[in-house]
Amino acid sequence: MALIQVRVRPTVRTRAQMGASGSFAGGFVDALRELCGKVDGIEFSGFFVSMAGGEGVAMLTGSPHQVPVVYQVLTWSGAFEYVKAEILIPPEEFNANRAMAETLAAHFRAPNQDEIDRMLLEE
């Protein structure tokens, strides 16, 4: 299970509407909680304000495969200058793919290597 940070920066118009609403984040937190409740495999954990970034930060848990659904809904709303999603995976899950990654890396042709680099690596 992943920990997911979704960072949003409201547009100027959205910020004005949120401020005028009188409720924290203009009801966005409740709307996001409801959205997550409808996405199978995603759970809303909390909402925070980043003072350094001027962003809203939603903390979610669940399947990384469902993050694009939340991302698309928020992006398509037009209420935000940007939406960023960061998926934080526990080391155990990250290492579960290590053997496959090592096998693939051995045959991957990196774009920054020319033919001479490849020959030297094969030796």
Cβ(3)–Cβ(43) below 8 Å: no
Query: Which architecture characterizes domain 2-90 according to CATH?
Result: 2-Layer Sandwich (3.30)
pTM of the model: 0.77
Cβ(42)–Cβ(70) below 8 Å: yes
Cβ(87)–Cβ(7) below 8 Å: no
Tens of pLDDT, residues 43-100: 999 999 999 988 999 999 999 999 999 999 999 999 999 999 999 998 988 888 888 8
Q: Which residue ranges make up each domain of the chain?
A: 2-90
| Residue 75, φ and ψ in degrees, nearest 5 | -65, -45
Higher pLDDT, 106 or 34: 34
Cβ(49)–Cβ(56) below 8 Å: yes
What whole-number distance in Å separates Cα of residue 68 and Cα of residue 33? Answer: 16
